[in-house]
Structure 1
Amino acid sequence: MAASLLSHGMRRCSARTCAAAAVAVRRGLSSAAPPSVFTRLLLKLNNYFYDVEHIVGWNNWARTLLVRSKNTFFGLAQQNFGDNVAAAYYILTLRGSFRFAGQSEWFRPDSSGKFSYDFMSTPDTQIEEVDLSGTIINHDGLDNLVKQNKLQSLSLRGCPEVDDWFLARLHVFGESLVELDVSHCPCVTVGGLAALQNLRKLQRLDISGLSRLQSPGLVRILLEEMLPHCRVTGAEYEQGLIQPDTREPTEEDHEATSANTGVRHL
């Protein structure tokens, strides 16, 4: 019975505290006394962390499922209503906003995610500006927008699923895109920014707040070399290039300074 109880306890333990709990339980079983407070506490913590790990795993699985469902290809909508209406519907379901070419009105959902279907009245008009800031768009969802060859402005600010593969696929807008905002996208690296060389019409690019850029200043220089007609914002030239000397001056430094001062006086 003791062996079976120990085996059951081992299965319930998480990887971080399994060994400690097993030792405590074994000591408790080897004596006639009931389990100590410390042993009971260990077992309780094991159960707690076991449940937390499962909750975290379930949460990651649920988020992955949500991202996939939100970025499915709206093929049926394209067949029934055309590319423009399907793209507009996709943007609104992500809680993004857009503006049709030749119109000043922006279509956007309300605070609860509901929106009007007035955009369906102009099925032959393409989208010119899109704001998907903070949404969960990913590279799969981009399939819903690739037919918008008049797209001039795209904001992806703070999109957690936008990565280098996503930026590489933006080449489909190489002859139309003028403004692009990829600021505060945590998955974007210098490799994805290098793929923007295909956006030959790009005039404004925001790269501020990209946590995975080690030398934003150098990246800005490279982007401006790659896209000479584009104004790159969000990074200063010296950012990440000049490393300040924070160490305390040594006696050798003082001697070198004195020697240099003497040479200048001579």
Structure 2
Amino acid sequence: MLYSSSRYNSSSTGSTANPLKVDFLQYLCNRFYDIETFVDVSYKLKKWNIKRKNRVCIEASQHFGDEVAAAVFALNMKGRISIINWKNNLDFQEYEDIRLEAVDVSGSIINYNGLDNLVKLKALKYLDLSRCPHIDDWCLSRLHAFAETLEELSLVGCPQITERGLACLHHLQNLKRLDVSDLPSVSKKGLIRILLEEMLPLCDIVGMDYGDNMDLQFEDAMNRGEMEEHLEAANNLKTR
């Protein structure tokens, strides 16, 4: 309960307190637990919305195929897509012929489960996952599905990605450009760049410089044992 001092009493000497202020303070006091409940409900609603948005588009997949289902998912995430063999006024049978070559879901709430909508794409060349707060190492372990097609990948600003997740990318041997700018959970970025270049010799690594957080004794760390440790971690992520 909220107690007011005598200076707020109308019978006390001096200036009379603003009744609106007293009522507002009393309201806040009475609603304290209501605010806690509101915050808890808001958090649960947020989790529910993330789960809902990342559901597999089963109906679209059954009626129109995996490529259309992936397109529906990406657009529901307010993303962008590029389609091969798109024609106006497609017949039902012709939906089977379209292929997604680019998917941009940057800044979205896509997570591990949401990738179920994308991993069946057969001709994906460009994938933008930048600034996605729920993309983590486990998510990167699923990108091996694009080993034969993916040429460009952006992971800019994903806060949960670490060097263990980046080690999973060694499957993407056709990758030509990898943007790993602004990854706060990755330490020794200069060393990681060298490891990425060794794993992906044909790929242009963007966003990490050789001098970033480079230990002066980096030669001791650049041994095969550490490289094998990262690759083993990547394989462990795949078996989830």
TM bracket (short chain):
0.7 to 0.9
Match of 1:91 in 2: 74
Query: For residues 179 and 33 of structure 2, what CA distance do their matches in structure 1 show?
Result: 43
- SS where residue 95 of structure 1 aligns? coil
Match of 1:66 in 2: 49
Scaled by the length of structure 1, the TM-score of the pair is 0.66
Q: Structure 1 230/47 Cα, relative in aligned 2: closer, same or farther at 3 Å?
A: farther
The answer to whether 1:151 aligns with 2:124 is: yes
Match of 2:170 in 1: 197
**1:24-64 per-position Cα deviation (integer Å, ceiling 9, x unaligned):** x9xxxxxxxxx564xx9x99877665444333322221111
Tell me which amino acid in the other structure corresponds to 2:155. V
Tell me which amino acid in the other structure corresponds to 1:78. S
What does 1:1-266 correspond to in 2, within 5 Å? Answer: 35=3, 37=5, 50-101=33-84, 123=95, 124-241=97-214
Larger RCO: 1 or 2 (CA < 8 Å, sep 6+): 2
Q: Structure 1 204/102 Cα, relative in aligned 2: closer, same or farther at 3 Å?
A: farther
Query: For residues 91 and 45 of structure 2, what CA distance do their matches in structure 1 show?
Result: 32
Query: For residues 156 and 119 of structure 1, what CA distance do their matches in structure 2 show?
Result: 29
- SS where residue 221 of structure 1 aligns? helix
Query: For residues 140 and 53 of structure 1, what CA distance do their matches in structure 2 show?
Result: 30
Structure 2 unaligned segments of length 5 or more: list them. 6-21, 217-240
Partners of 2:153 and 2:178 within 8 A in 1: yes
Q: Structure 1 191/129 Cα, relative in aligned 2: closer, same or farther at 3 Å?
A: same
- SS where residue 142 of structure 2 aligns? helix
Match of 2:234 in 1: none
Q: Structure 1 47/87 Cα, relative in aligned 2: closer, same or farther at 3 Å?
A: same
Query: For residues 118 and 207 of structure 1, what CA distance do their matches in structure 2 show?
Result: 39
Largest Rg, 1 or 2:
1
Q: Structure 1 50/148 Cα, relative in aligned 2: closer, same or farther at 3 Å?
A: same
Shift of 1:196: 0.8
Tell me which amino acid in the other structure corresponds to 1:238. G
Partners of 2:152 and 2:175 within 8 A in 1: yes
Structure 1 unaligned segments of length 5 or more: list them. 1-8, 10-24, 26-34, 106-116, 244-266
Query: For residues 82 and 60 of structure 1, what CA distance do their matches in structure 2 show?
Result: 34
Number of paired residues?
Answer: 198
Partners of 2:85 and 2:99 within 8 A in 1: no
Shift of 1:141: 1.1
Partners of 1:85 and 1:119 within 8 A in 2: no
Query: For residues 66 and 120 of structure 1, what CA distance do their matches in structure 2 show?
Result: 33
Tell me which amino acid in the other structure corresponds to 1:237. Y
Partners of 2:101 and 2:124 within 8 A in 1: yes
Query: For residues 210 and 52 of structure 1, what CA distance do their matches in structure 2 show?
Result: 35
